Amino acid sequence: MKTLFILLFVSLALIFPISQVHAKESTELRKQRQAAQQERQAEKTDRNRESAEARKSFGEFTRSLKPEYKALLKEVDIEFELTQVDLQADRAAKIAEAEAEYQKKLTSAFLHPDGAMNTDALKKMEQEAKAHSDELFRLKEEAAQIAHTEKAASEKHKHVLLQEMDTRAIDEVVSLGLTKKSEPIVATPIGGELTRQEKQWNEREKKDIERTHVRNLRTIREFKNGEKIRAWELNNLDEDFHLKWEEKRELHTIQSQQIFYSTLLMQAAQGKDINQQEVIAKFAELAKHTKLVKIKFDTIRKKESIIRRGEKKKLQES
């Protein structure tokens, strides 16, 4: 029994000093961890402030940059508009002359010596009228192509200026460090391993770094993607022009026939022997074809508009 008391006394004597040392160590570790946390928080606050200041500085830079290039783009537009005035005048003069010639030839084709017009005579006159009409249309399309080429050249000139603006903006954002992803300020083990709070800090820090990096890159997205979007828009300009004149070409074929048959009706009113019922039936058929052509190209444009919305969104977000 005595031996048992001695062992118990020795055990208590050993346990209490160790507990006191352990308590002292826990307090010291807690202080070290708190100090490390405060240091990390201070570093993070400084980093976030620097990032916010860089974004603000970039915003101020672009607000002064854009008006500068807007003025230069306006000069290009004015130059193009002045060129267009001359082109339109030249085009109008040529078309007016061609239309007058077309009217003279169309009228002379109907000056048939006999009161009656047989099938062969009408067919020949229709062919001649179509040839004159096609030539007039060719002149109009040729003039439009020249104007479109000038427009595309003007747009390319503007694109050079805008690319210069984009390059300056990107150089500025790089110099401000906004394109570089920051290194995370992570907690390191103190006294053996990370605490639960330190692990949570590290996870949040990684997410914050990624979120800030994405946010910073978003500030230069319009400048980074500008060249791709402008090239896409220029290609659309070409596609729209060709589609427009493809539609005009199909409508022209119908309209030239409508003009011919209108003239026939006028001849009938002047006593010429013309089958008016056939002519009116032909008019109805041509009107139907006109509607079908317009429906066809309207459908193409609507589908193209939907496709382009998706394409532009992808370009803006890439």
Q: How many CB atoms neighbour CB 278 within 10 A?
A: 12
Dump pLDDT digits (tens) for 213-268.
998 888 888 899 999 999 999 999 999 999 999 999 999 999 888 887 777 776 65
C-beta of residue 73 within 8 angstroms of C-beta of residue 158: yes
- Tally of residues, the chain: 318
In our burial notation (b when 16+ CB lie closer than 10 A, e otherwise), range 55-72 reads beebeebbeebeeebeee
**CA dihedral defined by 159, 161, 164, 168, rounded to 10 degrees?**
-120
Dump pLDDT digits (tens) for 253-297.
998 888 877 777 766 555 555 667 777 888 889 999 999 999 999
DSSP character at residue 112:
-
Compute the distance between CA of residue 177 and CA of residue 188 in angstroms, rounded to an integer: 26
**What pLDDT score does 244 carry?**
97
3-state secondary structure string across 29-69 = HHHHHHHHHHHHHHHHHHHHHHHHHHHHHHHHHHHHHHHHH
What's the whole-number average pLDDT of the chain? 85
C-beta of residue 33 within 8 angstroms of C-beta of residue 198: yes
Q: Which two tokens stand for residue 204?
A: 């949040």
**What pLDDT score does 201 carry?**
94
Q: Of the candidates 107, 88, 94, 93, which has an alpha carbon nearest to the alpha carbon of residue 135?
A: 94
**What pLDDT score does 261 carry?**
78
Compute the distance between CA of residue 26 and CA of residue 9 in angstroms, rounded to an integer: 26
- The rounded radius of gyration (Å) of the Cα atoms in the chain is 41
Q: Of the candidates 212, 203, 187, 184, which has an alpha carbon nearest to the alpha carbon of residue 44?
A: 184
Q: Which two tokens stand for residue 1?
A: 């029994």
Compute the distance between CA of residue 152 and CA of residue 145 in angstroms, rounded to an integer: 10
Q: What are phi and psi of 96, to 5 degrees?
A: -60, -40
Residue 2 pLDDT greater than 60, yes or no = no
Q: Give CA separation, 209 vs 42, 110, 172, 197, in Å.
A: 16, 83, 21, 18
CB proximity list for 178: less than 8 A, separation 6 or greater:
51, 54, 55, 58, 216, 217, 219, 220
**What pLDDT score does 92 carry?**
87
